[in-house]
Every structure is written in C-alpha cells, then in structure tokens.
Amino acid sequence: MRAGPPATLGEREDGRIEGHEQSEGRERPIDRPERATAAYPMTETADTQPGWFSSEELESVRGRMPVLYVQAVPVRVDESGAVTHVGLLMRAGSDGSFNRSVVSGRVLYHERVRDALLRHLEKDLGPVALPRIPSSPQPFTVAEYFPTPGITPFHDTRQHAVAMAYIVPVSGDCQPRQDALDLVWFTPDEATGPEVREEMQGGQGVLVRQALAFVGHAP
C-alpha cells in the first residue's frame, strides 16, 4: 500500500503490528491505565493483540507530533567489553532493493524504554539472542528523523521520529524473524566502509558510525 521510498524506521512492520488486525479502526478503551496491572504490560503481547491506534489514526498522529522510538545497535564484544562486530539487519524493500539497518521500533503507551528495547531486539533477533540492555537510560545519542531532509543527518519520509539510541551487546544466537531476511556481523572497519554505507538509508549509516565512535573506534 505504501508506494514511494521505503520507510527508514521499519514502517511496514510497525504498522502491521499496531493496526493490521483491526477491521474498523476501533479505539482502545479509554481506561487503559487502570487495566494495566503489571508495570509494562505490552512487552509480550504487542506482537499479537490489536494495536492502540487504527492505521488511519496512527497516520494522523504521525503528521502532528514526534513519535518516540528506540534504536539498538547490536554488537559482539570480547571479554574486555571491546566491540569486535556490529550486527546489521538486511531487509528487502517493496521495490526489490535491499537495505541494512539497526534494530528500531516505537515505544508503546505505558511501556518503559528498556522494555521497548528488549521487545524490539527479541522481535528482530529472535528469542535466544541474549541482548544485554544497558543499565542506564542515558542513550549514546538521540537521532532525530525529520520528514524534511537536511535538518539533521537523519530522515524519514513518513514522520518526525525521535530515537533514543543504545549500543546493545548480544551474546546469544541470532535468528532474525519477521520481515528481516538476515543478520550479518561486520567488523568495525567493514561497518564504516563505503559498501555498507551505501546499503543504509535515512542516516542509519551515520548512526552506526556514531555508535562506533562512542565505543572508541575510528568512525
């Protein structure tokens, strides 16, 4: 349905999760906070239950306020914590092209940032990836994706998204799910090289280099 440039921050998948199964755009009941008995209730259920917005509502909101995202740069580390590899997802665009990306996704209503990180990492890397979510909420950077290109290095045709970005060591076995075709591990040199750069869109290549700079590599 969405022609034009592929969405930088995983639009199709996100949209499907949150609105696809709804038939008549019905609203989430207004008493949501009261129903939430656990602290972060969406973590396990977000992938299967009807979303909080209909597709139309989400589109409408996206044109009028910034949408909060988390982004995770998966890395392999050695015993001393030094980054040896960066993991990038390979996705197929609707036009047959391929692109690489980090793990991204929305923070849902009443969800903690760290639970959103865990949920999206499990969704994209599978259930046994063993991600080590950072203990501090301080992101290494905040990436601001604007629908208008050129304001920041980040660009999303569809929305104004503000992504808190984290570096997440992953020690387990990664099994990409859903619409990600593959996860490939690159050395820091490969990840900052021209070939990989060309396969990343919307500034995600910049984000990867910012992440590598932050862990002490030459970006």
By CB under 8 A, what part of segment 75-94 binds a second copy? 75, 77, 79-83
One of 6, 111, 180, 183 touching a second copy (CB under 8 A): 111
**In the complex, what is the shortest distance from the CB of residue 56 to a second copy, in angstroms, rounded to a whole number?**
12
- Please give the residues from 34 up to 53 whose contact with a second copy meets the rule CB under 8 A: 36, 39-40, 52-53
**Half-sphere exposure (Cβ direction) of 127: Cα atoms closer than 13 Å:** 2
For a second copy, give the closer residue by CB, 79 or 96.
79
**In the complex, what is the shortest distance from the CB of residue 181 to a second copy, in angstroms, rounded to a whole number?**
26
- Please give the residues from 114 up to 173 whose contact with a second copy meets the rule CB under 8 A: 114-115, 117-118, 132-142, 144, 146-148, 150-153, 160, 162, 164, 167, 169
With CB under 8 A as the contact rule, which of the stretches 6-14, 65-73, 90-98, 176-184 interacts with a second copy? 65-73
Instruction: Based on the shown chain and the rule CB under 8 A, indicate whether residue 191 belongs to the binding site for a second copy.
Output: no
Cα dihedral: 27, 31, 33, 38 (round 10): -100
**In the complex, what is the shortest distance from the CB of residue 92 to a second copy, in angstroms, rounded to a whole number?**
26
